[in-house]
A and B are shown apart, each in its own frame.
Chain A
Amino acid sequence: MAKIELSFYPGCSSQKGATSSNYLVSAQTMCEELDIQLNEIPDWNCCGASIGYGGGGELPRLTLSARNIALSEEHNKGQEIVATCAACWLSTREAKERLHEDEQMFKDANAALSEAGLKYEGEANVRHMVEVLVEDIGFDGIKEKVKKPLEGLKIAGYVGCQTNRPFGIAGESFENPMYLDNIVDAVGAESIPTYEKKVQCCGGALAFSEPEKSQEMIKGILEAAYDNGADMIVTPCPLCQANTEIYQDQINEKYGTKFKMPIVYYSTLMSVAFGRSAKDAALDGHVIPAKQLEEIANK
């Protein structure tokens, strides 16, 4: 297959020393194996995520994303924009659609961008990495690259909200998406298609501002994974990953549970299954180590 070239929007949380830096490392490894070349958008800025609305209002928020798209159109001409963070993908795609529908907004965003000599056209497609996997590579394409099937592992696919709604992955249902389960199967592990919390919200950014309320939901997500006999959870979203992993101690303390559930990315699974090292899969970046994956990687 020919090399796929994409204009890459990594997002703040994947930068070195940030909460999902391990996502970036494993995604890069995965892309190397799949012959996908990621061309980072030069000088990209934060998209404001979903929570930025309360500080930024409408136009300033849309303009943040318009700047990223404009930079991509200028420097990575003709390439589709791809994001690994659900919130980055969502804000960027949402901004593009809003500026497309609303002519005044389009003009206003361009008036703002011209302050720094930038011009937004809104031609580039905005995609999530998962779309590239499902639509361009395909489950069979993933299967072909597997050198070390993740045999014997039972993995709950936690899709969460924003990779799934409002845009979602073409052909998948909002209520019961299957692509993550299909990826789990493709790398040789056992999926749990009836994992009932697969699209449950974890609280998102409100895990910061409303910790008790959010942790109650996170508890449900973890509990259901245990009830289904999962060895670990896999997710496509950096915030889902962080929220379900890093608060397990606090939840255990509050509810007397004994959660110790590893939470990994689809790119972690693929990096290991494609035969790469624990380091390339960024297994050292987990607060709760995924020991079974480490064993397979070190074999």
Chain B
Amino acid sequence: MSDLNTSMIEKYRSSFLKEVEANVEEGEWVKMCMQCGVCSGSCPLGKHWDHPPQEIFMMIRANKREEVLGSDSMWMCTSCYNCIARCPRGLPITHIMHGLAVYSKRLGLTPKKQPTAEFSQIFWDNLMKKGRVNELKLGLSMNFKDGFGEGVKNAMANQKLGQNMMKAKRMNPMEAFGGHGVKSPGDLQKIIKKAQEIEESKIQAAK
């Protein structure tokens, strides 16, 4: 178990709601939920979630910390914003789901091999290299994330798709060498590193 997780458990022993309010993006909204269920009924991949949003809000108030943070439900949020558009109480549900997912990842509680958690990280690392996303490398790293054997299998399955895209000039094999980017990726990385440090120091201060 991560140190951060241990200290958060100690600090907020009595209230998971308080922990969420203090540490999760837009977490201060959770208490406003009136349990109407509209969000859960609006969620496109909802049938695959063990705990749809409404239930997650109820579980937060019921101190079900391990069940919520260890769940992979919120990783199935597609950012469709249906819930936000419909919630009668105006909760920024999408952002709370993202916030819970990121918080669980920070504490080391995200289920192993959760595909969207992995993809999200791959995407971020890809964009941080040059400041712009390199779609070819993004596809390749996603295909090869589970090792070489799996990668070849995935690449074969998507081979036709790739050929189609190249024909339409919407995929460029040359992107594997270089590709698009900002003028000074170093400067951008400096900016983002600073932002990460500030965010990190806020979390540490909350310990």
B35 interfacial by beta-carbon distance below 8 Å: no
Contact B120 A55 (CB under 8 A): yes
Instruction: Find chain A residues with CB under 8 A from B161 CB.
Output: 246-247, 249-250
Most chain A CB inside 10 Å of its own CB: which residue of B115, B160, B169, B170: B170
Q: Which residues of B contact A138 (CB under 8 A)?
A: none
For residue B101, CB closer than 8 A to chain A, the reply is: yes
Whether B80 pairs with A165 at a CB distance below 8 angstroms is: yes
Does A18 sit at the interface, judged by CB under 8 A? Answer: yes
Task: State A287–B172 Cα separation when bound (angstroms).
Answer: 14
- Within 8 Å of chain A (Cβ to Cβ): is B99? yes
Asked if B152 is an interface residue, CB under 8 A from chain A, the answer is no
Q: Contact: B102 with A54, CB < 8 Å? A: yes
Would you give the 0/1 interface string for B116-130, flagging 1 where the beta carbon is closer than 8 Å to chain A?
111111111101000
Contacts of B102 in A (CB 8 A): 53-54, 57-58
Considering the chains assembled together, what is the distance between the CA atoms of A53 and B188 in angstroms? 17
How close is B145's CB to chain A, nearest CB, in angstroms? 10
Contact residues on B (Cβ < 8 Å of other chain), bracket: 35 or more
Min CB distance A194 to B, Å, is: 20
Residues of B within 8 A of A209 (CB): 115-116, 118-120, 142
Q: Does B51 contact A (CB under 8 A)?
A: no
B90-108, CB under 8 A of A: which get 1 and which 0?
0000100011011001000
Number of interface residues of A (CB under 8 A): 66
Instruction: Tell me which residues across on chain B come within 8 A of A229, comparing CB atoms.
Output: none
Question: Cβ of B169 and Cβ of A285 under 8 Å apart?
Answer: yes
User: In the complex the two chains form, is A53's CB within 8 Å of B133's CB?
Assistant: no
B116 touches which one: A19, A161, A206 (CB < 8 A)?
Answer: A206
Q: How far is the CA of A19 from the CA of B193 in the complex (A)?
A: 29
Q: A12-B180, A43-B182, A60-B196 are in contact. Are A246 and B131 (CB under 8 A)?
A: no
Q: B112 on the interface (CB 8 Å rule)? A: no
Is B199 within 8 A of A113, CB to CB? no
- Give 13 A-B pairs besides A54-B124, A175-B85 with Cβ atoms closer than 8 angstroms: A12-B127, A12-B132, A18-B171, A22-B170, A45-B188, A54-B98, A67-B188, A115-B187, A168-B85, A201-B80, A208-B119, A209-B116, A284-B168
Interface, chain A (partner B; CB < 8 A): 12-13, 15-22, 43-46, 48-60, 62-64, 67, 108-109, 111-113, 115-116, 118, 161-162, 165-166, 168, 174-175, 200-201, 203-206, 208-210, 213-214, 217, 246-247, 249-250, 284-287
Q: List 20 A-B contacts (CB under 8 A).
A: A17-B169, A21-B169, A45-B132, A51-B79, A51-B119, A52-B124, A53-B102, A59-B198, A111-B198, A112-B198, A115-B187, A115-B194, A161-B81, A204-B78, A210-B115, A249-B160, A250-B161, A285-B168, A285-B170, A287-B165
